[in-house]
Amino acid sequence: MMIVFSLFLLTMMVIVALAVVETPNLFAAAMLTGIFSFLMAANFFVLDAADVALTEAAVGAGVATVFFLGAIALSAEHEHSPTRKRGIGLVVMASLAMVILFSSLQFPQLGDPSAPVHQYLAPWYLEKTPELIHVPNVVTAILASFRGYDTLGEVFVVLTAAIGVLSLLGFPRAKLDEAAINDGLYHQQIPRVVGKILIPFIILFGLYVQFHGDFGPGGGFQAGTIIATALILYALLYSGDVARRLMPPKLIFGLACLGAFIYAGVGGVTLLLGGNLLDYSVLSSDPVAGQHLGIILIEFGVGLAVASVMLTIFHAFAGHEHRS
């Protein structure tokens, strides 16, 4: 039954992807990409990758769709007609699809215990995580501790993305008059009432994902995107100008930098205490307690950075038209 459902999801993803490519209406394409992300998130849940599914649902179906709509608001609703023939592009894409399909046939079957990944890495992580870190969620242990260097680089990549957007669009300025609220959905009663109910629960769920990531699916990346989704929903309801007056974009960007440097700062402290970079064991007399403390600190930095970067990019797009 699960195989049939997975095939159904994959089939729907192909259909939606073709619809995204073929539709000339950019608004419809943005909505379809959100549907594609929901299908992808469902597929990740089927594969027991709950952490990735949470991120895909929040970023792909939620925040990214809003970014697409913000970009469309600064451009045309329909894409321009292609001036060149698409034959070469179709040949290239068909060739690439054949290469990927042929390569996938060489992969081991899903769940095959004899697969190379299950012969060395996975058993080692499953054996050593309770001993060295004592975190029930092995995924969190891998991302935050064993693979801490890589995750640190990812955080600064996210921060660099915000810097790139700001270098192109700059910091938006909020209007000073109360009429700015008319630009939002505040006067639409149903979205306003539903939004007021949902926003506190979305933030609460984001905090749960943030601080429960050691024991279940979650962590800083997922929590940051969920909390950013709630604050973006607030901006959509009350207009971006009202939201920017409550939380100025420069302050939000400063929090993004602070989150990234909290992560880096924890690594610096471990060096000063005589340990290796991002070896949290030296943060406490008990190495396991030090690992717990280090993971909590760096996950907080990740969540703060991700949420702030998402908000920074959103306000850069949403406020661009007000400066024209």
Could you tell me which residues are beta bridge partners of residue 25?
Answer: 78
Q: Which two tokens stand for residue 302?
A: 């990740």
* Neighbouring C-beta atoms of residue 193, cutoff 10 Å: 11
DSSP label at 61? I
CA nearest 303: which of 194, 196, 227, 238? 227
Cα–Cα dist 45/54, whole Å:
9
> Do 51 and 222 contact (CB within 8 A), yes or no?
yes
Cα-trace Rg, the chain: 22
pLDDT digit string, tens, across residues 111-149:
777 887 778 788 888 888 888 888 888 888 888 888 889
Cα–Cα dist 227/9, whole Å:
28
Question: Can you give the pLDDT at residue 66?
Answer: 80
CA 121, 155, 271, 51 dihedral sign is negative
Cα–Cα dist 215/226, whole Å:
18
Question: Can you give the pLDDT at residue 240?
Answer: 72
How many residues can be counted in the chain? 324
DSSP state string for 212-276: STTTSS--HHHHHHHHHHHHHHHHHHH-HHHHHHHS-HHHHHHHHHHHHHHHHHHHHHHHHTTS-
pLDDT digit string, tens, across residues 2-29:
778 888 888 999 899 889 888 888 888 8
Question: Can you give the pLDDT at residue 73?
Answer: 73
Q: How far apart are the first and last CA of the chain?
A: 55
CA 124, 301, 160, 239 dihedral sign is positive
Q: What is the pLDDT along the chain (324 residues), one digit of tens a residue?
A: 677 888 888 899 989 988 988 888 888 888 899 899 889 988 888 887 777 888 788 788 777 888 887 777 777 777 766 656 667 777 888 899 899 888 888 788 777 778 877 787 888 888 888 888 888 888 888 888 888 899 999 899 989 988 988 888 788 765 555 554 445 566 777 877 888 889 999 999 999 999 888 887 788 888 998 999 899 888 888 777 778 888 888 899 999 999 999 999 999 999 999 989 899 999 988 888 899 899 999 999 999 999 999 899 888 887 765 444
DSSP label at 49? -
Nearby residues of 131 by Cβ (< 8 Å), 6 or more positions away? none
